[in-house]
Amino acid sequence: MKLRFAPSPTGFLHVGGARTAIFNLLHARRHGGRMLLRIEDTDVERSRQRHAEQIISSLQWLGVDWDEGPVYQSDRLEIYRERAEELVAAGKAYRCYCTVEELEADRQAAEHAGKAYRYSGKCRALTDTDLDARADMQHVVRFKVEPGAIEFHDLIRGDVHFEAELIDDFVLLRSDGHPTYHLSVVVDDIDMDITTVARGDDHLSNTPKHILLFRAFRAEVPTFAHLPLILGSDKKRLSKRSGATSAEEYRDMGVLPEALFNFLVLLGWAPGGDRELISCEEAARIFDLRDVNKSPAVFDVEKLLWMNGQYMMRLSAEEIYRRVTPFLGENPPPLETLRGVIELNKSRARTLKDLAEVMHPFLVSDDSLEYQPEAVKKHLKGDDMVPRMRELHDALARVEPFDVVSTEQALRALAESKGLGAGKYIHPLRLALTGRGASPPIFDVAVALGRQRTLARLQRLIDSLPSLMASASVPSS
């Protein structure tokens, strides 16, 4: 058994494409087959080498490890021309000299008559003399579609039936000598011994043409599996409107590759029971294209983020550190400085980027923390600010041990003794330690920072109170 993933390098790796790649990989692994990566770059206008490279690196990042390739179709142009010529020589294809203008006129005539446009088939009738006379003229090569039924068994959709009558004599070779997708895909699937073609539903209407071509080349027709569409949460075809659509965007958002892999595996397939978390290795033992759902799958970003949180929670601090450092900017501090904050937040953050965000106060030095103006305005109020913060500083300097329970008890006892609500201490403490109005539980933050840094940050806030409060009382324009 041999499968292939055959992206056209016209953009980033779309999540739908990523799922197609994953399903191909899993089916190949499950059945002890092989998987080929083929870059379908014969459309010179739209294909870019950089997109091919991006797609390849996204696949590697996702953990899709193909066995053969990448093969580039642009390296095989000569082969497609030869194969088209073979079909012409065998009378199964013919040269068509109709000009773009003629075809357009036919199209418009059909439109006026309210009929669906079809190629007239005019050039089928050219005699050898006609052809000789046109020998130097620009032309395309068209496939001669003969009437008859085209039936196949799709692994996902079951029995599919098409009538060749409804299919136009489609173009195989363009006038510039480049193959159309139909020709190159079939020639390659034959030459590369592909036994199973799993691709998006959007290709279903191409499949009867391909089957005619396989037959014309006297090659065995592979087994097909057309994967259901992926819809956005708005139940429309997944598009930019409903959020990120490329694997790269999710990587940059701080989604783990194994989480995205798991999430994509479940778009149209389920391991059974209520099970949601499954590794690539496990899925490769039980996945089968035959079990893929016919109906469209919904891409629920919230579920992906939940799943990513599940994966992050299970990683060690070392592993999280390794993965989060790209999000920490230049010169990230060493693991030991961050271990506490990682442990504290890894089960709270849904993405590596979120985690990097809450780690921010831990990355800056005690004297370069910036205070958010809105939080300053909201929480630094009252004439007693300075003594209130001094009392808190002293209480935290004395408390033993410096852990979450004791620090919280010390703060609450202090508030009570002064007849104040605990919030009068907690919010300024949060501002002192994180510079922000919101953070993970503040006693956890204090403990992760340690007594020394907690006190240093509190002292710095006390020292800055006069100027901070003065600036906050200036009415904003």
Rounded to a whole number of angstroms, the minimum distance from the CB of residue 40 to ligand GLU is 4
Q: Which residue is nearest to ligand GLU (CB)?
A: 199
**Residue for token digits 């079809």?**
118
Cβ pair 426, 386 in contact under 8 A: no
| Active-site annotation holds for 240 | yes
Give, as one character, the DSSP assignment of residue 238.
Answer: -
**What is the tally of helices (H) and strands (E) in the chain?**
20, 12
Task: Spell out the residues 6+ positions from residue 152 whose beta carbon is closer than 8 angstroms to its own.
Answer: 159, 160, 207, 211, 221, 224
Give the CA radius of gyration of the chain.
32
Least Å distance between CB 193 and ligand GLU?
15
Residue 391's contacts (CB-CB under 8 Å, 6 or more residues apart) are 414, 418
Coil, strand, or helix at residue 316?
coil
Q: Toward ligand GLU, which CB reaches closer, 207 or 351?
A: 207
Bridge partners of residue 158, in order along the sequence = 154
Nearer to ligand GLU, 126 or 204 (CB): 204
**Sequence-distant (≥ 6) Cβ neighbours of residue 115 within 8 angstroms:** none
Find tokens 């940050």 and name the residue.
457
Query: DSSP state, 222?
Result: P
Helix or strand (DSSP H, E) at 162? strand 158-163
442-449 helix and 404-417 helix, angle to the nearest 10 degrees: 120
Nearest distance from C-beta of residue 5 to ligand GLU, angstroms:
7
Question: Which run of H or of E encompasses 142?
Answer: strand 140-143
Q: Which is nearer to ligand GLU, 40 or 408 (CB)?
A: 40
143: which DSSP letter? Answer: E
From the list 144, 235, 236, 240, the catalytic residue is 240
User: Do 143 and 212 form a contact (C-beta atoms < 8 A)?
Assistant: yes
Comparing CB distances to ligand GLU, the nearer of 27 and 199 is 199
- Give strand pairing partners of 317: none
Q: What is the residue-wise DSSP string for 335-346? A: HHHHHHHHHHHT
Q: Which of 171, 165, 197 is nearest to 183 (CA)?
A: 171
**Tokens read off for 302:** 């919230």
Minimal distance, residue 135 CB to ligand GLU, in Å = 33
Smallest distance, Å, CB 199 to ligand GLU?
A: 3
Shortest CB 119 distance to ligand GLU, Å: 23
**Structure-token pair, residue 451:** 């007594």
Q: Give the nearer residue to ligand GLU in terms of CB position, either 42 or 262.
A: 42
**Residue 68 beta carbon to ligand GLU: minimum distance, rounded to whole angstroms:** 15
What angle is formed at CA 445 by the lines to CA 442 and CA 447, rounded to 5 degrees? 115
Q: In angstroms, how far is the first alpha carbon of the chain from the final one?
A: 71
Alpha-carbon distance of 52 to 41, in angstroms, equals 8
Is the Cβ–Cβ distance between 95 and 139 less than 8 Å? yes
The Cα diameter of the chain in Å comes to 110
Q: Which is nearer to ligand GLU, 227 or 431 (CB)?
A: 227
Give least dist CB 332 to ligand GLU, A: 38
Q: Which CB atom, from 47 or from 407, has the smaller least distance to ligand GLU?
A: 47
Residues that bind ligand GLU (CB under 6 A): 6-8, 40, 185, 199, 203
Tell the smallest beta-carbon distance from residue 205 to ligand GLU (Å): 12
Residues 6+ positions from 332 with CB-CB distance below 8 Å:
325, 338, 363
Q: Which residues are catalytic?
A: 240
